Amino acid sequence: MEGEVSLQLPRGSASPARALRAQEALTESEFAAALLAGLARHPRSVPCRFFYDARGSELFEEITKLTEYYPTRTETALLETYGEEIAALAGQGRILVEFGSGSSRKTSLLLSALGQVPAYIPIDIAAESLEEAAEWLSGQHPGLTIVPLIADFTATRALPPLARRRPRLGFFSGSTIGNLTHAEAGAFLGNAARLLGPGSAFLLGVDLKKSERILIPAYNDARGVTAAFNLNLLVRANRELGANFDLARFAHDAVWNEAAGRIEMYLVSLARQSVRVAGRDFTFADGERIHTENSHKYTVEEFRRLAGASGWTPVKAWTDADQLFSLHLLRL
Ligand code: AVJ
């Protein structure tokens, strides 16, 4: 059917609305558990996936348009410039499997370059953003068969039956792989190899190592959008978990960790203070930090080695003239 979108509901859910509500409740208790565990640890940390509530997703959209934040526009330009070559090297007739679904514009560019794809399978835990992206893309690409899969793409074990009939091309954009440590990224690439199967290809967007003069402003912009994005984690905790973080007494910070090859984001306590979260008290020293995100950067060679160690064969990598960002095509 033209532009058909069928949601693969989690087992046991009677309706999309009920599945969504069940999922929201799940995320809320997951957030509570992760925040309580993360604040009890030293150094304190919270997984970055909790940034993306409705407001957080909006703020991230705004980040992607900032002058200082080069990744999104550079990766988009790479897809515009090299889409045809990527499509030719990947080979025709592949099912497109996207890990995460927050990048419809880039997906659309890739779909246009690929021409006819038998099906497009976006994998994401956020049912709502999956549905939104699928709707927009089916408008852009009439006749495209979209089969969204609600799942954690780091742990997905199987693709829908229709995906097994054709060779697959994986797509993981935005340097989201940078959120993972090298060990986690290696495990992800291995899992993706098993999921996509023999003969598959994989296209990934990977941010490059570069001068701190460029990196730091990208994660600490003049208008404070990234600061608002980071601090929104505390706003979310106050709203969803009845926490009492004082937004005026925490600040955003972004630092480059040379040894680990990554940008680290922190929320810094601006005073000695106690905060109540879900009925528990946490005391912060003046200057004490909560680690909220890692964003690893790779040279082209480093990423090739990482992919190779997980069973992938590097085919080609494309970079922009300023060496800001890379696209890697791999095959199994
Ligand atoms: C979406 C994870 C790739 O690390 O650059 C942007 C998130 N954090 N600004 C990144 C982010 C702060 C982004 N990723």
Q: Which atom of ligand 1 is nearest to the CA of 254?
A: 12
Q: Which atom of ligand 1 is nearest to the CA of 179?
A: 2
Helices 300-309 and 182-196, axial angle in degrees (round to 10): 60
pLDDT band at 6 (very low <50, low <70, confident <90, very high): very low
Least confident residue range of 136-145, 155-164, 228-237, 319-328: 155-164
- Cβ distance 318 to 179 under 8 Å? no
Ligand 1 center from residue 118 Cα (angstroms): 31
Question: What is residue 5's predicted lDDT score, i.e. its pLDDT?
Answer: 47
pTM over 0.85: yes
Ligand 1 center from residue 64 Cα (angstroms): 9
Ligand 1 center from residue 252 Cα (angstroms): 14
Concatenated DSSP letters for 118-155?
A: S-EEEEES-HHHHHHHHHHHHHHSTT--B--EES-TTS
Measured distance CA(189)–CA(177) in Å, rounded: 9
> Best mutation site among 63, 295, 296 for ligand 1, i.e. most ligand atoms within 8 A of its Cβ?
295
Tens of pLDDT, residue by residue over 217-259, are 999 999 999 999 999 999 999 999 999 999 999 999 999 999 9
> Best mutation site among 60, 99, 177, 215 for ligand 1, i.e. most ligand atoms within 8 A of its Cβ?
60
Distance of alpha carbon 123 from the chain centroid: 11
- How does the average pLDDT of the chain come out, rounded? 92
Protein residue with its CA nearest to atom 3 in ligand 1? 176
Distance of alpha carbon 88 from the chain centroid: 26
Question: What is residue 101's predicted lDDT score, i.e. its pLDDT?
Answer: 76
Tokens linked to 261:
């090859």
Ligand 1 center from residue 74 Cα (angstroms): 14
Residue 9 CB neighbour total at 10 angstroms: 15
Percent of the chain with pLDDT over 90: 82
Give residue ranges with CB within 6 A of ligand 1.
63, 71, 174-176, 178-179, 219, 226, 293, 295
Q: Is 259 in a helix, a strand, or coil?
A: coil
Tens of pLDDT, residue by residue over 53-100, are 999 999 999 999 999 999 999 999 999 999 999 999 999 999 999 998
Q: Which atom of ligand 1 is nearest to the CA of 64?
A: 6
Tens of pLDDT, residue by residue over 186-221, are 999 999 999 999 999 999 999 999 999 999 999 999
Quick one: residue 323, left, alpha or beta (phi over 0 = left, psi -120 to 50 = alpha)? left
